[in-house]
Structure 1
Amino acid sequence: MDMLQFGKQALAAQPFSTLVGAVLTRFDTEGTELRVPLRDELKQQHGFVHGGVISYAADNALTFAGGAALGTGVVTSEYKINYVRPALGQELVARAVAIHAGKSQAACRCDIFVVNEGKETLCAIAQGTIARLPAASSAE
């Protein structure tokens, strides 16, 4: 099975990702791309995409990028996000890459764009640390 197909299966196993309608469109050692189609339920009271939805896209894209660098069985250890402008449009696109990977963690960065009328506009930037899970991990 290729990496993208494996990643799509992992994403489909995440109930929250299914709820927001996320789609993994790239997953390889060069980077990842996660798309979220926007609908009214994902907006806040001013009509902008809710920051939590943007943050979700960044978090998951970062984790996939770290997973591509470290192998399977990873989680986000920490991340930070900067919102640079309100997101108005039809779709979010989060693109992430691993900047450095060691034995147990990877430092990654992500740019999040909103697509409006076919034009991408940067709405947030994020960076994070992705950690490899121990071989016999549990959900404790």
Structure 2
Amino acid sequence: MTRIDFHVNLPDKLAYGCRLVRKAYQSGRQVLVWCDDPVRLAEFDRLLWTFSAGDFVPHVGAADPLAAETPVLLAAEAPEVPHHDVIVNLGDRTPPNFSRFDRLIELVSGDEADRAHARERFRFYRDRGYPMQTHDRSADR
């Protein structure tokens, strides 16, 4: 069963996501970053190239011909992916096919609208019996 972690009270959800994905990549994990907002996903893609001058996080869109060879994939749709390791949700909705992954990481900012969407997702997962943990990152500010 998919393990779900909520990282909440993030001061900058996209920057935090970049650091999280870098850490997962450096530890040998394969990651799908999913977002139901293509504009937000495009901004995350741009940040992955620029957030740290000394690091490179290889990534492509999930539909890219190089997806099978790339450890970090980005998607705004419900893609078929070559791995089912970690999925990171930057979106407002529950990611499609999340139950195929070993782990789902939900990123939640301090924005009230973002928190409201996260509460809906939390109830959805809880009501279906998924094991969950919450990590309050307000101290990271």
TM-score (norm 1): 0.28
Q: Higher strand proportion, which one?
A: 1
Of structures 1 and 2, the one with the larger relative CO (CA 8 A, separation 6+) is: 2
